[in-house]
Amino acid sequence: MPLIVPDRLAATCAKSAQSSAWLEGLPEVIADLKRRWSLKLGAPFSGADVSCAWVAPAERPGGHAAVLKIGMPYMEGEQEIAGLRFWNGNPTVQLLEADDDLGAMLLERCEPGSSLRTTPELEQDVVIAGLLRRLWRVPPASPGFRPLSAMTTFWTNQTLADAERWPDAGLVRQGLELFEELPRSAPRVALLATDLHAGNVLQARREPWLVIDPKPFVGDTAYDATQHLFNCAGRLRSDTDGTIRRFAELLDVDPQRVRLWLFARAAAEPRDDWRDHQWMSLARTIAP
């Protein structure tokens, strides 16, 4: 039976030779994991949030429900398995089995599994803030989690390589300067999720809500406010100060640092299409 590949994952894999090669070898990897972990698999999950991994419902011996996730190799997601081991289900999904070399994870299945996106945004603020404050812990010496500056440097190099396509060089360069400055000036450092938004929070039985898909880096806790706020773009545009201040207070972080991180990302984060001016428009809206 041919491998079913969700549309967004296929589109992501088409962007580079490395990810295309990963996708080509995926059927063999899945067959190996099914045998080793004695799994029965259902059709893979699809949707807006499935773009960098092949994820499918699984059944273990004895009828125990799980989820098989095989991550596409990419910089931001390299230490997801290490992060799940560290957090150990508090408040993330449990890691049941893993193959670090393959980026493969057998995970606790969240049931009923509804996304936090089904709740109003103001309720999302409270839930996500509570989860982030539980995730933020002093990072362990081993395994060595990467500093947030590793990601911002990686992004800076990608953005500089696209300099000819920038629609507003002044805004982009301001963002790049903040990518260098903000990691150095963090008043509080912890292990971050970096990609926590309502789509990565699911209803479960063990706890009301559990975190999936963390991308751990060590750095400024104010950074971790950004992904959720970007997913509340309408509120962020209509009431910039109030939206940032409310979420920052729930997190007990400096709202000005949240605003600076939001601006830096909106202005200078690498993107496939620099002609999409919504990001520059947002950067101007939230510019300090």
- 195 included as an active-site residue: yes
Radius of gyration of the chain (CA): 19
| Structural tokens at position 210 | 């559990």
Q: Give yes or no for a contact between 53 and 95, defined as CB atoms under 8 angstroms apart.
A: no
pLDDT at 1: 61
Q: Residues near 210 by Cβ (< 8 Å), separated by ≥ 6?
A: 89, 91, 92, 93, 108, 110, 201, 202, 204
First vs last C-alpha separation in the chain: 54
Q: How many residues does the chain have?
A: 288
Single out the catalytic residue among 49, 125, 195, 213: 195
pLDDT at 47: 77
pLDDT at 240: 96
Q: Residues near 130 by Cβ (< 8 Å), separated by ≥ 6?
A: none
Residue 28 CA to residue 25 CA, distance in Å, equals 6
Domains, the chain, with CATH or none: 7-108 (3.30.200.20), 116-286 (3.90.1200.10)
Residue 145 CA to residue 20 CA, distance in Å, equals 27
> pLDDT tens for residues 34-88?
999 999 999 999 877 889 999 999 999 999 999 999 999 999 999 999 999 999 9
Segments of the chain scoring below 50 in pLDDT: none
pLDDT at 149: 98
| Structural tokens at position 263 | 């601006």
pLDDT at 288: 82
